[in-house]
Amino acid sequence: MTRDEDRNLVEEVAAVVPHPARPPAPVTDGDRHGMRSAINFYSELDGMIADARLLSDYAVAINDDGTRRVKNPQMLAVSHRMRATNLALALKHSEMVWSVERLEQMHDAITGAILQADRETGERVFAALKEVCGRWSL
């Protein structure tokens, strides 16, 4: 149901919000800093994990002999869903970070290959890259 609602929301927003005439300006370093200070992913994730543990602890009782028993199965199920969501978020974040790291590695490899070319070719390539970066405000 949630996926259907998400899809419906995306379709509704796409129908209402017009496409921009040109792509939005890339994010600046100042924007990145503002976003990072506004949302601390790991702090939020830690809080959600703590909440899921709290629900799990509430749903389970410890017997006198140290064994555990479920005292609230519904709450335990909610806790498990929360944990699965947290794991999925952490995995998506890791995949995104890995992709950025791979992109940076590729950039470094390309830069190294350009530097190995003759000086005139390297200067022309870097001038062209500088122009592209200027157009994209990178």
pTM of the model: 0.46
Asked if pLDDT for residue 2 goes beyond 60, the answer is no
Q: Compute and round to an integer the Cα radius of gyration of the chain.
A: 24
Ramachandran region of residue 2, left (φ > 0), alpha (ψ -120 to 50) or beta? alpha
Question: Per residue in 74-131, pLDDT tens?
Answer: 999 999 999 999 999 998 888 887 787 788 888 888 888 888 888 888 888 888 888 8
The answer to whether residue 37 scores a pLDDT higher than 80 is no
**What are the structure tokens assigned to 60, written together?**
């389970």
Q: Which of 135, 138, 105, 132 is nearest to 124 (CA)?
A: 132
Between CA 111 and CA 120 the distance in angstroms is: 15
- 61-70: pLDDT as tens digits: 999 999 999 9
As a whole number of angstroms, the longest Cα–Cα distance in the chain is 80
Beta bridge partners of residue 70, listed in sequence order: 60
